[in-house]
Amino acid sequence: MVSLYDLDRADLAQVLDGEPPYRVDQVWSGLHRKARLPDELTDVPKTIRASLAAAHPPALVEVGRLVTDQGDTVKWLWRLPDGKQIETVLMHYPDRSTVCVSTQAGCAMGCGFCATGQAGFDRQLSTGEIVEQVIRAAREAAPRRVSNVVFMGMGEPLANYDATWAAIERLHDAVGISARHLTVSTVGIVPGIRRLAREALPVNLAVSLHAANDRLRDELVPINRRYPLAELAAACRDHVAATHRRLSFEWALIDGVNDRPDDARELAALARELRGHVNLIPLNPTPGYPTRGTPPARVRDFAARLRSLGVNTTVRANRGGDIDAACGQLRAARAGSPQEPGQPVTLSERAR
């Protein structure tokens, strides 16, 4: 059975074969631009709504959700049709609402400090499964509009390139999200970065760097052994030249591992060379990684050191840290818990 958002426009036209051509526009716009379910498409005949809903149900079933006290962060755990699970996070800011989506169930990149990496790889997500995460978040966000999408959830987007790029095109063309508000994160898949630079839509690139020398990065981000820093930097340089978009480096601060003065100097040298923005991320603790995140005072010191070295630096607000909002934490917390099919589970404020 093909899920609702795995129907592309041509598929939908085939499903609606025999209907007036404008019906395709009505349904397509209703599902994407208006984020409505089939039975909510009141400008479409009931027979079409019923048949579409019956033949093409949504792919995501809510297993659980967590919400901060302030309501500014919502995290979902979804079950897919084959029983695999993924996570999505909606974050509200004063000037925007951002959705962080998954592109794979699990991840094969093997970064030991990441809860998703600790759990291993299950499978690729389809284009519809990626797009539907944004639609479901948009429904939750209303009347606020989801304006930004970051491909920073579970999985490596550039290891699922075709489905990820098709989702980007759908979000841009059908949902109406500007390319400048779409950001793809990667641990450093060089061929994917180069391919991304050749695409028609100039989306933003964020590189999960975490170390600025090959010895340490080989340990923290194993893909560095295949695509070392010199190759990664060259690909990033070409992406910036082709897209004219600012490059971002993500840096999860790990106590005593990558938060030392030498780490700051190495990072600053690379960031200045590529005119990259550094986004420091206080590491969320995960059960499978004993090392702790850098304490807040030293996070501030590290950021100040980078700024003194001429690097544009921000410290990411630890949004959702109290609800296990780091990639893979919610799925790990729910592993082995009994779940009734179709019955959402409201989790405690601090799932363990």
- Residues 159, 189: contact at Cβ < 8 Å? yes
Question: How far apart, in whole angstroms, are the C-alpha atoms of residue 325 and residue 329?
Answer: 7
Identify whether 111 is a catalytic site residue.
no
Structure tokens at 287: 């059960």
Contacts of 281 (CB under 8 A, 6+ apart): 250, 251, 252, 253, 316
Instruction: Select which of 87, 140, 156, 250 is catalytic.
Output: 87
Specify whether 107 is catalytic.
no
Beta strand 104-106 pairing with 313-315: unpaired
User: Which residues are 97's β-sheet partners?
Assistant: 92
Given the residues 236, 327, 340, 349, the one annotated as active site: 327
φ/ψ (deg, to 5) at 60? -100, 125
Cα separation, 58 vs 254, in Å, equals 39
∠ Cα 231 203 140 (to 5°): 130
- Strands (E) in 211-352, as ranges, are 247-253, 277-282, 313-315, 345-346
Identify whether the C-beta of residue 7 lies closer than 8 Å to the C-beta of residue 15.
Answer: yes
Residues 6+ apart with CB under 8 A from 96: 147, 148
Residues 6+ apart with CB under 8 A from 228: 214, 217
Give the number of C-alpha atoms closer than 13 A to the C-alpha of residue 315, restricted to the C-beta side: 19
Residues with a known catalytic role: 87, 327
